[in-house]
Amino acid sequence: MQPARLAPLEALVAVPERPAGLAFHFPGFNIALGSWEAVRYAQLAEATGLAVVAVELPGLSRFGHRLPGSVRRDLMDAHADSWAELCLEYLRLATRQAGLDRLPVRQLTGFSTGCSLAAAASRHLAVPVLALIEPVSVTQRSLAALEAANLADLARFPAALATNRDWVAQAWRTQLREPGVRYSVIDLLAIARLLSGRSIPDDLDRPAWCLLARGARSSLCPAPAFDALDAQLVAAGAPGPTLAISGLGHQLWHSFGAVAALSGRLPTASDMTAAGEYPGQSLS
């Protein structure tokens, strides 16, 4: 998939029977759209009744193309808007190519790095549902402190994988044999600068409904900053659950049981209609 004048990226679309709308998902850092991602998106689609559309994050793709200079400069200044706008351009193209562009966008979800993009995208799209799972850009810290938190959470990765069994574990092993994403050192530094700041609490508008979730043992999403973001949303009058997944760290999204539990807390399209929520953002 390649918009005019832009680098190619891969997309992944999970479509339930009779989808009632679209969910745009923003994956985390260093996550390829392979067999394991497909399992999680299928679960999200089944739970919500929405077609889930995701693209590789620009600058973090199997093709290895660098970010545009203007986007990189914004990330170095801890701003995610131009990166989110670039993602949305790819997501719109993927939606058109899948023949789903007549459906409204009803949900934005993000994991880890993707939370910064989902939060920024929510300022451009009138979408009823926002879900931020393990947001990282929630507190000011040094790059060294960010890396120390990352290493601590990598040590907890096996605990998340150990919860998967049978065909789910096989999907993970299959993705290990598939090509991973590539990125440049300069783009890595720019993204790290974004994640070491407070782009989400500083820039987040009041969402109509927001799910917040973190692993109870997470270092990348520290509890005090997470609680402060929750309090900010409560003060703004934004409804939605706030969840801590016991026994897991940052990589809770790699536990299929956690994915199933979190997707079950997201409202379905019929829930939103029954509650009188607005239908979502049209792409036409």
Can you tell me the mean pLDDT for 200-206?
89
Q: Tell me how far the alpha carbon of residue 117 is from its chain's centroid.
A: 7
Share of residues in the chain with pLDDT > 70 (%):
93
Lowest average pLDDT, out of 32-36, 189-193, 279-283, goes to 279-283
Assess if residue 282 is contained within a domain.
no
Burial class (CB in 10 A: 0-12, 13-18, 19+), 79: buried
Assess if residue 277 is contained within a domain.
no
Q: What is the pLDDT of residue 168?
A: 86
Q: What is the pLDDT of residue 35?
A: 87
Which helix (H) or strand (E) segment holds residue 107: the answer is: strand 105-111
122 neighbors 109 (Cβ within 8 angstroms)? no
Task: Write the CA distances from 141 to 158, 163, 192, 218, integer angstroms.
Answer: 26, 31, 11, 15
Assess if residue 38 is contained within a domain.
yes
Q: What is the pLDDT of residue 3?
A: 67
Q: What is the pLDDT of residue 273?
A: 55
Burial class (CB in 10 A: 0-12, 13-18, 19+), 95: buried
**Tell me: the pLDDT tens digits for 185-201?**
999 999 999 999 999 99
Assess if residue 279 is contained within a domain.
no
- Helix, strand, or coil here: 150? helix
Model confidence at 241: pLDDT above 90: yes
Confidence of residue 178 (pLDDT cuts 50, 70, 90): confident
Assess if residue 204 is contained within a domain.
yes
Can you tell me the mean pLDDT for 8-30?
93
When divided into structural domains, the chain yields a total of: 1
Confidence of residue 282 (pLDDT cuts 50, 70, 90): low
Assess if residue 40 is contained within a domain.
yes
Assess if residue 276 is contained within a domain.
no
Can you tell me the mean pLDDT for 207-228?
95
Assess if residue 15 is contained within a domain.
yes
Q: Global pTM?
A: 0.92
Model confidence at 143: pLDDT above 90: yes
Domain region containing 100 = 11-271
Q: What is the pLDDT of residue 102?
A: 92
**Tell me: the pLDDT tens digits for 152-176?**
999 999 988 889 889 888 888 888 8
CATH number at 191 reads 3.40.50.1820
Residue 178 tokens read as 């598939």
